[in-house]
Structure 1
Amino acid sequence: MKNPRWRAAVAAAIQLCALGLLACAGAQLGGREPLPGNGPGGKPMRTATETAVGMPPAAPALVYPVTARVNVSDSYFGTQVEDPYRWLENLDSPQVAQWVAAQNALSQPRLASLPQRAWLKARLTQLWNYERYEVPVKRGGRYFYLHNDGQQNQSVLLVSDGLDAPARVLFDPNTVRQDATVAVSEFTPDVRGDVVAYAVSDGGTDWQVWRFRRVHDGADLPDILRFTKFWGVSWARDGSGVYYSRYPALPDGRGDDSGRPAVYFHELGTAQDHDRLVYEVTDHPTRIPAGRVTDDGHYLIITLFDGYERNGVDLLDLERPGARVQHVFFAWDALYTFIGAHGEELYFRTTKDAPLGRVIAVDAR
């Protein structure tokens, strides 16, 4: 190897190979600067030593409480429907209390550790805590309305004896129980504004319990109506009582919302067990009736509910003892919503031949 020309050629080849390797390495590394990690694509890789000694332990896997399934089913019109979690509906049972406590023990520490939680709480508090009034209802010169000062868990039912008169508290649900989960869900004063029927719901349930309170002294009458939800009450013109829709009762004393309610009349001063049956559906399994008295007390408008696209309407003349129910809208071809009445003329908003709705008048005779 004394030939200098050959020796120069070998040196040049070595340099070219080195440059080629550097170029390849540069292409793999993505440029002149190396990627930060030691794994594929520059991702960091833990060594066995780091995993065993130097790295923090992995977060423990969440273990959710076991939710028992029970063998419960119901038959709906010949179809058997399983309801394995029915036991969770018994909110007062020790089993449900234990299940809720276990769920809270799992979820609350994780929720409390969220870094955004404090900001979210502050912002939601800012958005929610403002004074608010609901639209007042005028009866007999008095004004009834719900009010919340922005700091109360539940709105308070107030009454004033005139537009310029100061309001006073008729019923404050925040004082019923320490956890403030009882709310006024509805209220309906009588025509003269002397008695207000008010419904309370407990813990967010749809079930309502109606009571009747004298306005002048804030005292409750002994009357209580149970097994109701959604449909409200409608006062007789003379203030003697209310029409309402009542669900059947189960043997254990709870309301049965798998059954169909019927319209009853409750006379003030009597027990609910003595309420008079006014109207029930006997020819269809899913239609639900609800009654509303016209402002002049002449008619009971009975709306039949079975979904949100169409309904039926029947009519009962309250001024004719023994009068039979008349069909007003029974084709079930559209929605018919009662607006009000003027004498014998009844007004409805309907979607019949009017997808955006229109107002029609019907002669009750």
Structure 2
Amino acid sequence: MNYPACEKKDFQTEYFGHKVEDPYRWLTDNHDPEVLAWVKAENACTDEWFEKEKLEAKIQALKKGKRRPLYSAISKWRDGFLAAKREDGYPVVVKLSQDMQAEEIIAERGTLPEYTPYSATACPKEQKYLTLYGLKDEAARPSVLIIDCEKREIVETIKGTFNYAWSASDLVLYYSETVSDAKTQESYSRMCAYHADTGVTECVFEDREYSVLGDVHVASDEHTILFEYWSDYSHSRYFSYDEMTKEVRSINGDHAAEMRYIDTKAGEHYFIMKEDAPFGKLIAIAQGKSLQDARVLREEGEEVLDSGFMLEGRVYLMSLKAACARLICLQEEEQAVQEREVKLPEEIGTLTVCGSAGGKKYFQYQSFVMPPVLLEFDGKTMKTVLKSSDVSHPDVITEQRYAKSVKDGREIPYFVVRRKDLKPEECKAVWMYAYGGYNFSEVPAYEMPCTGLRVAEWAEDKGIYILASIRGGNEFGSQWHEEGMGLLKKNCYYDMIGIAEQMIEEGWTRKGEVIVTGASNGGLMVSALVTMRPDLFGCVIGSVPHTDMLQFAEDDRGPMYITEYGNPRESEEMFKYLLSYSPYHNVKQIAYPWIYLQTGECDNNVPPYHGKKFAARLQELNQSDAPILLRVLKDGSHDRGAGEVFWRTTAEMQLFADEYIAYRENER
């Protein structure tokens, strides 16, 4: 292919006496006219590669299969509910009727200039005050708009906050403010309070210890607030704040622990604790006491405790058993704790909290073969409120299997979705997906994230879909995360290689023909895989990927991410380790497979230079005829765009894989 010319410029960065060449560093400035011209040429090159008729047909096919969007961030408001949804890639905030059958748009892209709203909540004490949580164009971090609905005006804008919550008993909005410096790598958080009745903002509590983020939790006792400071993406420090006495008390002191707050009742704070129990145990800490005084209500079991909530005085634990959702109800009776499992629609599936209102909890449930449904739970009955689709896939099965990681032999679980009657020689392609990072669990879903591929339909068409539960996530407890971070990050990639090689050995696919996709941290994964083992994969699709694992620490969010990956300035050992797998730095003058990279100019999580620099170097050095395509979305953020751009982007990803499969068949 004839790619747009991309000039190489002299630039070096020094780490511990080692000089690292960075000839495409100039692509970092996405406002530079020279960079803009190159991006325009790259997008034109990608446009030209796709046949217009095929792309349009794919777009129309995706639109035809569009499902009804379901709701999240559900909360009570006036005579109905506030909720959020995504339609055609656009986030939309709506008001729902009491039966959830009618909706009115409250805010969407364009309602406010250069602002994309994600969700909304109302002040419980005075419902005329509404908060909109969203992102201002080109802002590095989200913001909260406080609106007086009676006056129809914005009374306050809180910039740069990720987490906030209204007081249950006062006209106060509590929010976290994280101050970070990419140059010094310092990051700390403070808790602030905005008083809606006076318009006054005050700092309630500041903690100067390192934290990547702060969070706010309002207890159901209506006067206790818990401030949470994340030391990294699994360990936190907690402080309780009494709204009546204004007293702040430390719960776990200076020692950050792997614990997750559930709620407070009868003078006790309930937590899931994983510090000495990787799968999690349930503890309670009396108000005014510390972690050392905790009592254990439920010991560690075989399933991973993920989160919890309280309803009608009972504690509910959301857990993962073999990466599949379970919901457990606990009832304290005298000296014993009784538990029962709440039945969910299927054995293999995912349960996601979508909000609370009127003494009820709302969830979304889905699986590889079951489109998402909205569930309502009152503590007794779990009923379906809305369905996104009525389709079924009786000929598709899901299996959970294990492969050995190629480096240390660790058994790695993965899901295989395929037709019941599929034989190895009939399989058209194996398509892998994983995330593997930030203590985040990648669990069964009806659609593959980022590409929008409907998994069951792919399987019906004789494809195999693999969701890999690689290390770095929380699918199998805290140790699973720790084995895939920092100086062990490459375990994630060895896990994927082990699974791919097993599928090849069993005859489901061939070496050099596996399709692999990932986004964000998963985009880093596929970018690392294609530089580590270009011979193993035939088609690679990376969305909003990290690719420069040295420069990333200098990004706005760099101080938040070094707890996961490590800091290249921390030690020579860490520098060398990051350099050893940094995709951008490991491109060689060899043959690479088909590669499609997508990024967004407004991405505030992973700056677009990551995708641009990687694409430029691949296009420069690739020795095969395989296409190396770059799609840069002008208004895209950490997503696939919105509206027609969303449909085109997901269609391109799927069509790119289709074209690869057709090319491969012709070459055989």
- Match in the other structure for 2:565: none
Question: How big is the shift at 1:227?
Answer: 1.9
Q: Does 1:108 align with 2:32?
A: no
Once residues 294 and 170 of structure 1 are traced to their aligned partners in structure 2, the CA distance between those partners, rounded to angstroms, is 28
Other-structure match for 1:320: 245
1:343 Cα deviation (Å)?
4.0
1:64 & 1:344 partners in 2: Cα distance? Answer: 65
Does residue 172 (structure 1) correspond to residue 108 (structure 2)? The answer is: yes
Q: 1:190 aligns with which of 118, 123, 132?
A: 123
Q: In terms of mean alpha carbon deviation, does 90-99 or 308-317 score higher?
A: 90-99
**Residue 202 of structure 2 aligns with which residue?**
276
Query: How do residues 1-365 of structure 1 correspond to structure 2 at under 5 angstroms?
Result: 61-66=1-6, 91-92=30-31, 94-112=33-51, 116-128=54-66, 130-134=68-72, 136-139=74-77, 142-147=80-85, 150=87, 152-160=88-96, 162-163=98-99, 166-176=102-112, 182-192=115-125, 193-202=127-136, 207-215=141-149, 219-228=152-161, 231-248=162-179, 259-268=187-196, 275-282=201-208, 284-286=209-211, 288-321=213-246, 323-328=247-252, 330-333=254-257, 335-365=258-288
Q: How far does residue 346 in structure 1 lie from its aligned partner after superposition?
A: 1.4
Distance in 2 (CA, whole Å) between partners of 1:303 and 1:327 is 10
Residue by residue, what CA displacement relative to the aligned partner does 1:220-242 show, whole Å, maximum 9, x if unpaired? 332111122xx321112344231
Contact preservation (8 Å) 2:180, 2:188? no
Amino acid of the structure 2 residue aligned with 1:155: P
Q: Please provide the CA RMSD for this pair.
A: 4.1
Distance 1:127 1:203 in 2: 31
Q: Residues 96 and 197 from structure 1, CA distance in 2 versus in 1: closer, same or farther, beyond 3 angstroms?
A: farther
Contact 1:210 1:226 (C-alpha < 8 Å) held by counterparts = yes
Instruction: Measure the CA separation in 1 of the matches of 2:20 and 2:211.
Output: 17
The 3 A distance-change label for structure 1 pair 299 and 288 is: same
Is contact 1:301-1:315 (8 Å) kept?
yes
TM-score (norm 2): 0.37
Counterpart AA for 1:103: E
The answer to whether the 8 Å contact 1:247/1:257 transfers is: no
What is the CA–CA distance in structure 2 between the aligned matches of 1:344 and 1:290, rounded to whole Å? 21
Inter-CA distance 94–343: structure 2 relative to 1 (3 Å threshold): farther
Counting strand residues as a fraction of each chain, which structure ranks higher? 2
- Tell whether the 8 Å contact from 2:133 to 2:145 is kept in structure 1 after alignment: yes
The CA deviation at 1:73 is 7.7
Contact 2:214 2:229 in 1 (8 A): yes
Partner amino acid, structure 2, of 1:339: I
Q: Deviations over 1:12-65 (max 9, x none)?
A: xxxxxxxxxxxxxxxxxxxxxxxxxxxxxxxxxxxxxxxxxxxxxxxxx52334
Relative contact order, higher structure (CA 8 A, sep 6+): 2
Once residues 175 and 187 of structure 1 are traced to their aligned partners in structure 2, the CA distance between those partners, rounded to angstroms, is 14
Quote the residue 1:22 is aligned against: none
State the alpha-carbon separation in 1 of the partners of residues 66 and 58 from structure 2: 12
The answer for unaligned runs of 5 or more in structure 2 is: 289-668
Q: Are the aligned partners of 2:239 and 2:248 in contact in 1 as well (CA < 8 Å)?
A: no
Q: C-alpha displacement at 1:137, in angstroms?
A: 1.4
| CA–CA distance in structure 2, aligned partners of residues 313 and 105 of structure 1 | 51
Residue aligning to 1:4: none
Structure 1 residues 247, 357: CA separation in 2 closer, same or farther (over 3 Å shift)?
closer
> Per-residue CA shift, 1:88-146, capped at 9, x if unaligned?
56555545433321222222211346x75344323333344544333621256541112
Q: Is the 8 A contact 1:248 1:259 kept in 2?
A: yes
Work out the CA distance in 1 between the residues paired with 2:185 and 2:144. Answer: 17
Partner Cα distance (2:269, 2:123) in 1: 22
CA 1:212–1:92: 2 relative to 1, 3 Å: farther
CA change 1:200–1:342 in 2 (3 A) is same
**TM-fit CA distance, 1:349:** 1.9
Change (3 A) 1:281 1:70: farther
| TM-fit CA distance, 1:363 | 0.8
TM-superposed CA distance for 1:258, in Å, is 6.5
Aligned-partner residue type, residue 157 of structure 1:
V
Conservation of the 8 A alpha-carbon contact between 1:223 and 1:269: no
TM-superposed deviation, 1:313: 1.6
- Does the C-alpha gap of structure 1 residues 352 and 236 become closer, same or farther in structure 2, counting only changes over 3 Å? same
Asked if 1 retains the 8 angstrom alpha-carbon contact of 2:194 and 2:201, the reply is yes
Distance in 1 (alpha carbons) for counterparts of 2:287 and 2:20: 43
Over the matched positions of the two proteins, sequence identity in percent amounts to 16
Distance 1:83 1:360, change over 3 A: farther
Q: Distance in 1 between matches of 2:100 and 2:250?
A: 45
Q: Is residue 264–residue 276 contact of structure 1 (8 Å, CA) maintained in 2?
A: yes
Counterpart Cα distance in 2 of 1:140 and 1:290: 27
